[in-house]
Amino acid sequence: MTTTAEHTSAAHPTEAHHTSTGLSNEKLAMWIFLGSECLLFGGLISTFLLYREVDPLRGPSVESLYDIPFTSVSSFVLLMSSLTMVLAVAAIKRGDQRNTRVWLMTTALLGASFVGGQVYEFTVFYREGLGYTTNLQGSAFYTLTGFHGVHVSLGIVMLLSLVVLSLRGRMGTERAETVEIVGLYWHFVDVVWIVIFTVVYLITP
């Protein structure tokens, strides 16, 4: 039994929680936050769906400017960043500091590539005559995708902070849950994009 207990302690260093639920309060708080974020993005997606039905009185329609192959590559990049994130979580749970840093940096770079692609897309749309206030479609589109981009950018800041902590030797196995919680945020940003990519880009009127 002692062997089992020791093994449990080594494999799950952060899973003994003395809380009323028996669960980590920090993790539960993150899930509640993510549940509330569903309402935020639900509102933004609904607003876009509502306004894209309205004829643009000025400027081009959003749909006419989409570059689906380009956005597909961006979507794939973000999807793969979820893989690297989960590999970072697995690495820190094993106590593998080097691979934790490698996967966290890779995730941050993939996220930065996605944000770079979004900036490029916005620039192209602007040059084609669709500014933020040109028409309702444009406003709803920029607000929705812009909010998502801000979320990705905040995620990148969190990932880089973890890398810095790791480099300073302050990211031992006991901090595995911190990486897992940042991972939850990152995966949420990914699942939101899964919805946006289908509803906004692929299903067009």
Partner 1 sequence: MATEHQTIEHHDEIDHDHPSDGRYIQIALILGVITAVEVMTYVVDFGALMVPSLVIMMIAKFGIVAAYFMHLKFDSNLFTRVFVSGILLAIGVYVAFLTSLHIFSS
Q: Which of 13, 60, 86, 112 binds partner 1 (CB under 8 A)?
A: 86
DSSP assignment, residue 129?
A: T
Cα 98 versus chain centre, distance:
23
Q: Give dist(CA 51, CA 161) in Å, integer.
A: 38
Structure tokens, 45: 């997606």
Of 79 and 160, CB closest to partner 1: 79
Site string for partner 1, 144-183 (x = CB under 8 A): ------------------------------------x--x
Torsion of CA 8, 13, 17, 23, to 10 degrees: -90
Q: Does 129 bind partner 1 (CB under 8 A)?
A: no
Residue whose entry in the numeric block shows the structure tokens 């669960």: 23
Angle between helices 176-196 and 68-94 (to 10 degrees): 160
Which positions lie near partner 1, rule CB under 8 A?
A: 1, 3-4, 7-8, 11-12, 21, 23, 27-28, 31-32, 34-39, 41-43, 45-46, 49-50, 68-69, 72, 75-76, 79-80, 82-83, 85-87, 90, 93, 180, 183-184, 187-188, 190-191, 194-195, 197-199, 202-203
